Structure 1
Amino acid sequence: MLKLALFFLIVSLVAGLFGFSGISAVSAGMAKILFFIAILAFVIVALIILFSAKSLFNN
């Protein structure tokens, strides 16, 4: 997911460099959305691992 966000970021920078502001804005928006989804997924997985590790050590 982060690779896709990085791809959209690069597309946005290249499009902005060549003057395609519409494509640049859309690509930057997609990069932001994918980045925050990746961060949210990381936090959820980290919490699941943390709580499952606590339950293992409590037995």
Structure 2
Amino acid sequence: MIRLAVIFAVIAAVLGILGFGGLAGAAWDVAQIFFWIAVIIAAVLFVLGFTIYKKVT
């Protein structure tokens, strides 16, 4: 997910430099969505790692 966020952020930067403001904004929005999804998944796995790991071992 972070890889996709970085890819879309780079695409947004290139499109912004080339003057495609609308497409750059859309690509930036997609990059932000992928970033926050990755943060949420990481937080959930972090919490599950502390709770379930103690029960398994």
Shorter-chain TM band: over 0.9
State the partner residue of 2:33: 33
TM-score (norm 1): 0.89
Give the aligned length.
57
Calculate the aligned-residue CA RMSD, in Å.
1.1
Percent identity of paired positions between Structure 1 and Structure 2: 26
Report the counterpart of residue 21 of structure 1 in structure 2.
Answer: 21
Alignment of 1:1-59 (within 5 A): 1-56=1-56
Return structure 1 stretches of 4+ with deviation > 4 angstroms: none
The residue identity in structure 2 corresponding to 1:54 is K
What is the distance in 2 between the residues matched to 1:42 and 1:31? Answer: 16
Query: By how many angstroms is 1:30 displaced?
Result: 0.2
Q: CA deviation at 1:52?
A: 1.2
TM-aligned CA deviation for residue 56 of structure 1: 4.1
Amino acid at match of 1:52: I
Q: What 5-or-longer segments of structure 1 have no aligned partner?
A: none
